[in-house]
Amino acid sequence: MQVYANNNSTKIIAHIKLTLDNQPIIIELFDNSASRQLLKQLPLSLTLSDFAGEEKIAYLPNKLILQDTPKASTIPSDFTYYAPWGNLAIFYKGYGQAEGVYALGRIKDGKELLAQLKQNTTVTLEYID
C-alpha cells in the first residue's frame, strides 16, 4: 500500500520563498527528511522550466535522501521532489499519482505566477521562517 502526504494534516516545519521576476511564491515545507535536507541547501539560485504544461521543474545541486518522505499526489500547489531525475517538481495543474514523486510541501501563495511562466528563468529559493 502506498502512503501519500495529506495536504490538510501534514505538519509544517518552515516557510520558504521562491522569487520569480521579483514576485514571491510562498511555500510551506512538510516535516520530513527530504524537506530538512532542502533547507540545508538554501539559499539557492535555480533555473525553473516548464514540464508538460503542468509543473515547473528545477534541478538541485545535491540529491535528496527520501527516508521517511511520503509520496505526493501531484495536485495543484504540490511542492515535490522527483527522485528518478533528482529535481524539484512544482505543480500548478493536477497530474494525479505518479511513481517517484515525493512530498516536500505545498504552495501557500503565488501558484498563479508559475502558470504564467513560459520560458526558462532563474529564480531564488530561500528560507523565510
Residue 14 pLDDT class (50, 70, 90 cuts): very high
Mean pLDDT of 106-124: 89
| pTM for this model (two decimals) | 0.89
pLDDT digits (tens, 9 = 90+) for 19-62: 988 999 999 999 999 999 999 999 999 999 999 888 999 999 99
**Alpha carbon distances (Å) from 61 to 3, 47, 50, 101:** 27, 11, 19, 18
